[in-house]
Structure 1
Amino acid sequence: MDDQQRLTAEQLVEAGLDDWRPILGRLKARFRTGDPATGYALANAIGQAATAAGHYPDLTLTGTAVVVALTSPDVPGITGRDVDLARAISRRAAQLGVTADAGGLTQLELGLDTAASSRLAPYYAALFGGEVTNGEPVDPSGQVPTVWWQDPTETGGPALPAQPFEQRWHFDVWVSHDEGERRLQAVLAAGGRLVSDAAAPSYWVVEDADGNRSCICTPAGR
């Protein structure tokens, strides 16, 4: 695969990376380590693989799991470099007897309905302790979700039923291409309502019992 060209969602599915899922421009995997010692051992093995490749992932280490995210910022997006390193990491995990659990992998974005994004971006960058990148407040440390802007004057996407109140903030919850339907059913079972599936499987619009809306998003169909 090309190390300098962004891969499509279809190409990533065809790559057969069973442990990994493309979510919001990154390849993500969650390895169930079960205990801190195994987690540290896996993190060290990932570091060795990354050093050998000269390509470095983001790691989140907890007491029972290691979550790994891969991307190529210079493209930006997922490239052959990420696919190669993903395979190497999966091999290292298998050698340690660690299995992957792709179910439930998630990435949260915050969407704000506003036509004044250029004026608001510096404020939110300062509030989050980040910086403005491509017009969005971004936290380079990864502690705070990205905020993106949706201009309410722009048209596009399916028409939605009117709300009885003004909602300015909404969640975009990104999941893998094979997780969207399951996440939707979980939301409905928990008392949520489906507002629109006209853009599925790219996204479903749902709302809570008070009418606050969010989107369940996947890379499929984009």
Structure 2
Amino acid sequence: MSESTSGSERITAAQFHRSPGVTDWRVTDTGPQAVFTARSLAHAASLVAPVVAAAERCGVLADIDVRPEGVVVRIPHRDWDGIPAAATDLAASVSQAAAELGLTADPSRAQSVGIYIAQHSEADTRPFFMAALGYEGFGETDAVDPLRCGPHLAFNPIAGDKPGRGRSHLDIFVPADQARARVEAALAAGGRLVDDSRAPDWWTLASPDNHGIDIAAWTDVVG
């Protein structure tokens, strides 16, 4: 993919991370994001205007989540084609503004959550979940909240499945430099390691009563 920062060019997560000024940022399943801690709601909100200005200048849409504890800025995936190349300029500008405002970056808090819904190979439950949640289709197999507040849903058939049986588990996407610590914390809290054959891309864990969770970091290093 091109390294250009103009037009409709797309870059990978690895290319994004090699760009200058983006050390505050991590790429999860929903796209690049940065978390900045704040002293108050007003302090967190002070970053909104600089983010809007940078987004308009770069031609890249951004989501801003303002809380008293801090502000989360995301550059969401709107298709499967990768990260807009101009996102690197936006990210660097936001980080500079945050530093000038005294907001502290905390990359360890970046994450996104997805729900993996496994279904019988002859069933299609996506329309049901889209209707119940008010979601819309994303590609041919996924569904998303139009406002990008709820978790991303992925629908895939079960291998060796049985009719009438559905299974679901959570996908927790975290920064690559935080994944192993998150796995260790979950295990220390009573979890069980089910499969680490794809680590460090992802680990499959189970809760004490056998609820499944994948802790994944591959989106932060791909390409």
Change in CA separation of 1:75 and 1:191 when aligned onto 2, cut-off 3 Å: closer
2:145 to 136, 139, 149: 139
Q: Secondary structure at the match of 2:4?
A: coil
Match for residue 18 of structure 1 among 4, 23, 29: 23
Write out per-residue CA displacement over residues 33-86 of structure 1, whole angstroms, 9 at most, x where no aligned residue.
Answer: 221111121112211222222322011110121001114636632132111100
Mark the CA change 1:61 to 1:117 in structure 2 (over 3 Å): closer, same or farther.
farther
* 1:6 aligned residue: 10
Structure 2: tracts of 5 or more residues without a match: none
| Percent identity for Structure 1 against Structure 2 | 29
Q: What displacement does 1:93 show? A: 0.8
Contact 1:201–1:221 (8 Å) recurs in 2: no
Q: Secondary structure at the match of 2:125?
A: helix
Find 1:92's aligned residue among 82, 94, 97.
97
Q: Aligned partners of 2:151, 2:122: CA distance in 1, in Å?
A: 17
Specify which of 75, 82, 86 is matched with residue 77 of structure 1.
82
Where does residue 120 of structure 1 map in the other structure?
125
| Letter aligned with residue 2 of structure 1 | S
CA–CA distance in 1 between the matches of 2:183 and 2:26?
18
State the Cα distance separating 1:138 from its structure 2 match: 1.8
Contact between 1:19 and 1:90, CA under 8 Å: does it hold in 2?
yes
Query: Matched residue of 1:199: which SS?
Result: coil
* TM value normalised by structure 2: 0.86
SS in 2 for 1:148: strand
Distance 1:126 1:8, change over 3 A: same
Structure 1 length as normaliser, TM-score? 0.86
Q: Name the amino acid aligned to 1:79.
A: P
Q: Which runs of 5+ in 1 are unaligned?
A: 155-165
Residue of structure 2 equivalent to 1:64: 69
Query: Within the alignment, does 1:40 sit opposite 2:51 as a pair?
Result: no
Say whether the 8 Å CA contact 1:71–1:77 is kept in structure 2: no
Q: CA deviation at 1:153?
A: 2.2
The aligned residue for residue 204 of structure 2 is 205
Residue 187 of structure 1 corresponds to which residue in structure 2? 186
Q: Which amino acid aligns with 2:4?
A: D
CA root-mean-square deviation? 2.3
1:122 is matched by which residue type in structure 2? Answer: P
| Cα pair 1:2 1:79 within 8 Å, conserved | no
Q: 1:189 offset after TM fit, Å?
A: 1.0
Q: In 1, Cα distance between the equivalents of 2:138 and 2:222?
A: 26
Corresponding residue of 1:161: none
CA contact (8 A) 1:203 1:216 kept: yes
* Distance (whole Å) between structure 1 residues aligned to residue 52 and residue 148 of structure 2: 19
Distance 2:123 2:88 in 1: 35
Structure 1 CA distance for aligned equivalents of residues 186 and 122 of structure 2: 30
In 1, are the aligned partners of 2:119 and 2:156 still within 8 Å (CA)? yes
Residue type of the alignment partner of 2:14: E
Matched with 1:150 is 156
> How many residue pairs get matched?
212
Offset of 1:18 from its aligned partner? 1.2
* Structure 2 SS opposite 1:126: helix
Query: CA–CA distance in 1 between the matches of 2:40 and 2:191?
Result: 35
